[in-house]
Amino acid sequence: MTGKRPTKEQRERAAALADAIRHHERKYFVEAAPEISDAEFDALVKELEALETECPSLRTPDSPTQRVGGEPLAGFEPVRHDVPMLSLANTYSEDDLREFDRRVREGLPGEEFRYHLELKFDGVAVAARYRDGVFALGATRGDGRTGDDITANLRTIRSLPMRVDERRAFEVRGEVFMGLADFRELNARRAEEGLETYANPRNLTAGTLKLLDPRLVAQRKLRIFIYGLADMEAAGFATHWEAMTFLSGLGFPVDANRFLCPDLDAVLTTLESWREKRFGLEYETDGMVVKVDSRPHQARLGATSKAPRWAIAFKFPAIGAPTRLTGITVQIGRTGVATPVAELEPVTVSGSTVSRATLHNLDEIRRKDIRPGDTVIVEKGGDVIPKVASVVLDRRPKGARPWRFPTRCPVCDSELVRDESEVAFRCENVTCPAQIEGRIEHFASRGAMDIEGLGTKLIEQLVREGHVHDVGDLYSLSLDDLVALERMGELSSRNLLASLEKSKEIPFHRVLFALGIRHVGAHVARVLAEAVGSIRELERATVEKLTMIHEVGEAVARSVVDTLRREEMRALLDKLRRAGVNLEQAGERGEKPLAGLTFVLTGTLSAWTRNQAADRLRERGARVAVSVSRQTDYLVAGEAAGSKRRKAERLGITILDEDGLRKVLEEGPPA
């Protein structure tokens, strides 16, 4: 090992920092009860990283700094499961549960026993081994006997402890998943960046755990719930309840929703109460698992080669309705991504009528073997977005053929090209009307140029009638042009022109985002604007230069350089420049107008998540704290702000709504 040898003080400081970080990781990721702000937490990690860089011998594999590092692997090594990872028998019916209960009682004649009832998490099963209290190995289930070594990927899951206070070797089993809020945020960001979206959190989780680069995995915010020990006997626990309580005490994330039931009736009552309640959870569950609680009883009941006889999964029947898939159409987005859409005979699902649903991508259609003419089950999940859940194979019409992705764009008839890296098909004709309309819609949207009065119908008309070929043409629209359009009165025309005029003042980073360059979402646009300063400079930049900017990767850099080099883009930028749209970053680069001010965020914002808003504030030098105190300068209160708002009012702290926040971000604090 090279580098400086640590002094005694450095060793002690590193140990204290690691302990503090582990403590706060547990508070934040496992108990959801943080004691310090994100920035304070980051400062601890930074300090430890600095110490470890100076004295590399301090950098142990279980150091909290080691969650994200690691080089990409060439492939996964196989891992043998000494205790096989079994599957679970499952059912949708109460009768089957009664039958299960009868068999259990038959197997335990005259014995008293209890059931342990817990949620069934909809994710990916994994095993995690600990030796000497340190996380030593992580594996997928594989075929149940042999899985893949995914140690580096599991290390990135912040709620999985890297060190616990238990010296005996043991192995926990659990489910890796992605929370619904993180899933939605990721999908929204992908849509914003012009990339295709993922069908559900489970597929995304499975895909993520298979990535060979742990640095990419670390960006995905996976979570885990532990639901068992590989070998309860060895660990000396008499009941599952006791084992779970112990693991929870060690700092493992164990879901708090678990129940001891004296008999089957109690099981059924609890199940019933979760039928609706599950939609309030911020992760997906597809049912509940009934387990005989006592370990000696479990051992007596034993297992088949596939599943234990002492447990069964009860799956909640989804709220869905059958209907006919009349066809699959393809929708072209602003970056040309072609998304397949299910055209359905209208059907009512939990109170609303559904006639279309996104099918996301070709893989999703193949996975579910969806064919035009099929009877399909349409469901609304916890996220309310309707989806085609499955096909009723018994009702498949004779001769139904698998759907083939069209080879030509349904709007402009140019060839659809399959993108090797991304499973997406794309229309590459930048003058495709569907893309033009999509780009204008994006340009005018709230987070971008915020042009009021420019709705979908109007955009369609403007493009169809040849008034607008790109977003630059919006600025040459005249009152006469607008008034001549169907359904446009003089007042709405004047309002639209005023709103276009106003948009010329929008800060540069939002203009850059509004251009709709693939991979350039709102956040990346800000990073680029701050680092590069103007469109002129960006036009001159090379891929190499751009990738040197923190947070700008190869895909972003390439996309920016390629797009800005295109003839049409140059023409468009000329129009914007002539119209007087802001193509430069105002003020000194790196200026921190909010330095020295402390903000607290509460409630729901409509345009950003709280984390995004906090990032924006920090970029401008603000401190973002978790709780309101006398040190707070501003409380940003979104919808449904509660106790923090009341406290701020009591302390006389300035309260900003979302518009107020936007103003402070753009213009700095009021003088």
**Which C-beta is closer to ligand IVH: that of 141 or that of 278?**
141
Burial class of residue 36 (count of CB atoms within 10 Å of its CB; 0-12, 13-18, 19+): middle
**Contact between 609 and ligand IVH (CB under 6 A)?**
no
Six token digits for residue 128: 């995690």
**Which C-beta is closer to ligand IVH: that of 200 or that of 563?**
200
**Contacting residue, 24, 114, 120, 526, with ligand IVH by CB under 6 A:** 120
**Contact between 125 and ligand IVH (CB under 6 A)?**
yes
Helices (H), 580-653: 610-619, 643-651
**Contacting residue, 57, 60, 66, 87, with ligand IVH by CB under 6 A:** 87
Which value, in Å, is the radius of gyration of the alpha carbons in the chain?
A: 28
Q: With contacts defined by CB under 6 A, name the span among 113-121, 209-217, 335-343, 354-362 that binds ligand IVH.
A: 113-121
Hey, CA dihedral for 444, 445, 448, 452, is it positive or negative? Answer: positive
**Which C-beta is closer to ligand IVH: that of 104 or that of 560?**
104
**Contacting residue, 313, 427, 524, 581, with ligand IVH by CB under 6 A:** 313
**Contact between 148 and ligand IVH (CB under 6 A)?**
no
State the minimum distance, in angstroms, from the CB of residue 350 to ligand IVH.
25
Q: Show the beta-strand stretches assigned E in 507-576.
A: none
**Which C-beta is closer to ligand IVH: that of 174 or that of 333?**
174
Q: With contacts defined by CB under 6 A, name the span among 42-50, 116-124, 293-301, 548-556 that binds ligand IVH.
A: 116-124
Q: Are strands 634-637 and 598-602 parallel, antiparallel or unpaired?
A: parallel
**Contacting residue, 161, 228, 320, 438, with ligand IVH by CB under 6 A:** 228
Whether the CB-CB separation of 361 and 339 falls below 8 Å is answered with: yes
- The residue at minimum Cβ distance from ligand IVH is 125
Q: With contacts defined by CB under 6 A, name the span among 94-102, 118-126, 404-412, 442-450 that binds ligand IVH.
A: 118-126
What x-and-dash track marks residues 252-291 binding ligand IVH by CB under 6 A? -------------------------------------x--
Query: Under rule CB under 6 A, which residues in 356-395 are in contact with ligand IVH?
Result: none
Catalytic center residues: 120
State the minimum distance, in angstroms, from the CB of residue 72 to ligand IVH.
26
State the minimum distance, in angstroms, from the CB of residue 273 to ligand IVH.
17
**Contacting residue, 28, 76, 113, 121, with ligand IVH by CB under 6 A:** 121
State the minimum distance, in angstroms, from the CB of residue 418 to ligand IVH.
33
Whether the CB-CB separation of 51 and 14 falls below 8 Å is answered with: yes
Which among 348, 345, 353 has a CA at the least distance from the CA of 327?
Answer: 345
Q: Measured between alpha carbons, how far is 321 from 350 in angstroms, rounded to an integer?
A: 9
Query: Under rule CB under 6 A, which residues in 426-455 are in contact with ligand IVH?
Result: none
Whether the CB-CB separation of 229 and 171 falls below 8 Å is answered with: yes
Hey, CA dihedral for 283, 289, 294, 300, is it positive or negative? Answer: negative
State the minimum distance, in angstroms, from the CB of residue 255 to ligand IVH.
8
Distance separating the N- and C-terminal Cα atoms of the chain: 55
**Contacting residue, 55, 88, 191, 250, with ligand IVH by CB under 6 A:** 88
Query: Under rule CB under 6 A, which residues in 67-86 are in contact with ligand IVH?
Result: 86
Tell me the C-alpha to C-alpha distance, in Å, between residue 156 and each of 56, 221, 312.
Answer: 20, 8, 31
Which residues 6+ apart lie within 8 Å of 526 measured at CB?
Answer: 509, 513, 616, 619
State the minimum distance, in angstroms, from the CB of residue 87 to ligand IVH.
5
Tell me the C-alpha to C-alpha distance, in Å, between residue 378 and each of 275, 277, 331, 350.
Answer: 18, 21, 20, 11
Q: Measured between alpha carbons, how far is 127 from 148 in angstroms, rounded to an integer?
A: 10
**Contact between 531 and ligand IVH (CB under 6 A)?**
no
State the minimum distance, in angstroms, from the CB of residue 227 to ligand IVH.
4
Q: Measured between alpha carbons, how far is 490 from 483 in angstroms, rounded to an integer?
A: 6
Q: Measured between alpha carbons, how far is 194 from 192 in angstroms, rounded to an integer?
A: 5
Strand partners, 356: 343
Q: Measured between alpha carbons, how far is 439 from 281 in angstroms, rounded to an integer?
A: 36
Q: With contacts defined by CB under 6 A, name the span among 62-70, 115-123, 326-334, 392-400 that binds ligand IVH.
A: 115-123
**Which C-beta is closer to ligand IVH: that of 243 or that of 463?**
243
Which among 370, 372, 403 has a CA at the least distance from the CA of 387?
Answer: 370
Strand partners, 137: 129
How many of the chain's residues bind ligand IVH (CB under 6 A)? 15
Tell me how long the chain is. Answer: 671
Q: With contacts defined by CB under 6 A, name the span among 92-100, 120-128, 539-547, 625-633 that binds ligand IVH.
A: 120-128
Q: What angle do CA 367, 370, 371 make, to 5 degrees?
A: 140
State the minimum distance, in angstroms, from the CB of residue 120 to ligand IVH.
4
**Contact between 311 and ligand IVH (CB under 6 A)?**
yes
State the minimum distance, in angstroms, from the CB of residue 601 to ligand IVH.
33
Binding site for ligand IVH (CB under 6 A): 86-88, 118, 120-121, 125, 141, 175, 227-228, 289, 308, 311, 313
